[in-house]
Amino acid sequence: MVLKCVVFECTNRKDRDKHLQFYRLPAVVVNQGEDCENLSSERRREWLASLGQKFENRNMGNIRICSAHFIGGEKARLYDKGNPNWVPTVNVGHGENVLKQTMAVNRYNRLHNRQKRKQRKRSSLWKRVGVGKQETLQGE
């Protein structure tokens, strides 16, 4: 299986783009104390939030984020939380924008369909008033 960067619209692939690193999603570290566990689960959450995608039905172990999404091309270490590279920030999160766009388009279509339905109702009303007999043929 070809490992591809999971970032929306990023086409970098591990087999082709050898100059890049491909990072796994940070794992939650459970065997090095509570602080470490909290910190690592926070980082995992932040990465997921930054990617802005839904990963239901995905094997999280196969997810890779390429180093192009880190300033200077390198992720920060777990304990280096103040570092801007603690989470990927370069050209990420487009998924969310697209989702918003899709929602806006859907909303527009719904409105549009509602108006069309209204128009149809009005015209069938006109038919009923106008042509009596046609009403049974047309139905609603």
Rule CB under 5 A: which residues touch Zn ion?
A: 5, 7, 10, 12, 66, 68
Our CB check for Zn ion shows the closer of 8 and 78 to be 8
Residues 11-20: contacts with CB within 8 Å, 24+ apart?
12/66, 12/68, 14/64, 17/66, 20/66, 20/67, 20/68, 20/73
Q: Nearest approach, Cβ of 125 to Zn ion (angstroms)? A: 56
Tokens at 35, concatenated: 């602080």
Shortest separation between residue 106's beta carbon and Zn ion, angstroms = 28
Whose Cβ is closer to Zn ion: residue 7's or residue 87's? 7
Q: Which two tokens stand for residue 19?
A: 């100059």
Residue 36 or 90 having the CB closest to Zn ion:
90
